Amino acid sequence: MKIAITCNIKAEVPPHLEECYAEWDDQETIESVREALLERCQEVFIVEADQHAPARLQGLMPNMVFNMAEGMGGDSRESFIPAILEVLGIPYTGSPPLTLGLCLNKLRTKQILSCYGIPTPRCFVVESEYRGMEGGLEFPLIVKPVHEGSSKGIRDDSLVRSEEELVERIHRVIDTYGQPALVEEYLDGREFTVAILGNADDIRVLPIVEIDYSTIPEGANPIYSYEAKWIFDRPEDPLDIFRCPAPIDKELERAVSNMALDSFRALGVRDWCRIDIRCDSRGRPHVLELNPLPGILPAPQCNSCFPKAARAAGLTFSELVNTVVDIARKRHGI
Ligand SMILES: Nc1ncnc2c1ncn2[C@@H]1O[C@H](COP(=O)(O)OP(=O)(O)OP(=O)(O)O)[C@@H](O)[C@H]1O
Ligand SMILES: [Mg+2]
């Protein structure tokens, strides 16, 4: 079996540029995935998801692609590699181009969730100029770029409590990230993230992870912001921010798991996904977003939700990677 990993690899950049590459994978992660795949395959190739990827993939014609490519820009960037693979007829892990495109766009995701009756915070989008509150939303609100991940553009001060702050943050998102700002009602309850492996009837929810906000520095807002993910939390000084399995009662566990599964199906996700869910002040869960290309940092001290949930389910990093391949092979019938 010949397998290729499609990915975008983080370059060494000065700290002020780190945010630009937050979604991309570091060399250590790619190497760990390669080692995991080599336990079961004879040949593993690394293909960078750039403009040369189509020709490289056509030259290699692997039996399977392990797709981790976050893409190089634009709101369809995650769809690029799966679209090429479909044209070339190469089987790959994970979701198809349409699902990746939809899930990258938080507004489109929320519209689809709403069509299926899945709760998600109320919101509106500002394309260029703020023209007043829409949809009867009330403060506090959270302002985020409409199509980013890894908390890019979600800073500690993205949680706003006045119109003055709201207008400033909206224009910061539009000017800095060159895309519309999504304004959402802020849910102040418990937050969970749910890792799912499988398809159709052969699907499982891994132990739920809770984000424990009592661990973030005093004075910081209780959101999993860019600072919380990448600045307060460093491998050399990790934040003990996850509880896994989350200490929740059976009823909430069932509601959160079912909501994650319903969202997975509603968006047409395949093989694996991590779904972020937060409760409102009355304890009712809502879906924030889906991550069909979940981050997988291999080192346990680097807080990474999917590998954490997998470890709690008894899967090592390498077993997780190979399980995803097995799930995709089964789906493709190979
Ligand atoms: N409506 C909301 N109410 C409360 N908290 C929110 C809301 N939206 C976002 N947050 C907080 O901000 C964090 C990041 O938001 P979100 O998951 O939308 O961004 P992301 O960049 O796509 O994240 P990821 O790293 O999972 O890709 C959430 O984990 C949550 O803590
Ligand atoms: Mg998220």
How many A from CA of 278 to the centre of ligand 2?
Answer: 10
Q: Is residue 113 part of a domain?
A: no
The verdict on 216 and 178 lying in the same domain is no
User: Band of the pLDDT at 231, cuts 50, 70, 90?
Assistant: confident
Residue 135, pLDDT above cutoff 80: yes
Q: What region does 31 belong to: left with phi over 0, alpha with psi -120 to 50, or beta?
A: alpha
Is 300 found in the same domain as 166?
A: no
- Is 0.85 topped by the overall pTM? yes
Domain that holds residue 62: 2-95
116 within domain boundaries: no
* 235 has a pLDDT exceeding 80: no
> How does the average pLDDT of the chain come out, rounded?
95
The number of the ligand nearest the C-alpha atom of 22 reads 1
Q: Return d(Cα 5, Cα 25) in angstroms, integer.
A: 12
- Residues 134 and 161 reside in one and the same domain: yes
Mean pLDDT of 171-181: 95
Model confidence band, residue 87 (pLDDT cutoffs 50, 70, 90): very high
In angstroms, the first-to-last Cα distance of the chain is: 11
> With 80 as the cut, is the pLDDT of residue 86 above it?
yes
* Contact criterion met (CB below 8 Å) for 36 and 93: no
Contact 291, 273 (CB under 8 A): yes
User: What value does the CA radius of gyration of the chain take, rounded to a whole number of Å?
Assistant: 19
Model confidence pLDDT, tens digit, residues 251-304 = 999 999 999 999 999 999 999 999 999 999 999 999 999 999 999 999 988 889
Per-residue confidence at 109, pLDDT binned at 50, 70, 90?
A: very high
174 domain residue, yes or no: yes
Considering every ligand atom, which ligand is closest to the CA of 141? 1
Q: Are residues 197 and 82 in the same domain?
A: no
Two structure tokens written together for 30:
């790619």
Q: How many CB atoms lie within 10 A of CB 232?
A: 18
Beta carbon of 306 within 6 Å of any ligand 1 atom: no
| Per-residue pLDDT, 151 | 80
Question: Per the domain annotation, does 283 fall within a domain?
Answer: yes
Give the end of a domain, one of 170, 185, 200.
Answer: 185
Domain total of the chain: 3
Residues 9 and 62 in one domain: yes
The ligand whose atoms approach the alpha carbon of 191 most closely is 1
Q: Tell whether 328 and 297 lie within a shared domain.
A: yes
Check whether residue 42 and residue 137 sit in a common domain.
no
Question: Is residue 131, in this structure, part of any structural domain at all?
Answer: yes
The predicted pLDDT at position 232 comes to 87
Pair of tokens at residue 323: 């399980």
Tell me which of 148 and 133 has the higher pLDDT: 133
Instruction: Note the pLDDT of residue 136.
Output: 95
Given 153, 185, 217, the domain boundary residue is: 185
pLDDT score for 304: 92
- What pLDDT does residue 14 have? 79
Task: Check if 110 has its Cβ closer than 6 Å to any atom of ligand 1.
Answer: no
Spatial distance between the Cα atoms of 71 and 77, rounded to a whole number of angstroms: 4
159 lines ligand 1 (CB under 6 A): no
List the residue whose alpha carbon is closest to atom 25 of ligand 1: 150
Does the pLDDT of residue 123 top 90, yes or no? Answer: yes
Q: What is the DSSP string of 79-125?
A: THHHHHHHHHT--BSS--HHHHHHHHSHHHHHHHHHHTT-----EEE
pLDDT tier at 150 (50, 70, 90 boundaries)?
A: confident
Span from the CA of 13 to the centroid of ligand 1 (angstroms): 25
Q: Which residues contact 16 (CB under 8 A, 6 or more apart)?
A: none
Residue 334: closest CA among 65, 108, 84, 145: 65
Q: For residue 55, what pLDDT is reported?
A: 98
Q: Is residue 59 located within the same domain as residue 141?
A: no
In this structure, are 43 and 129 located in the same domain? Answer: no
Q: Are residues 7 and 57 in the same domain?
A: yes
User: 126 and 31 share a domain?
Assistant: no
- Whether residue 224 sits in one domain with residue 177: no
Which atom of ligand 1 is nearest to 276's Cα? 17
* pLDDT confidence of residue 11: 80
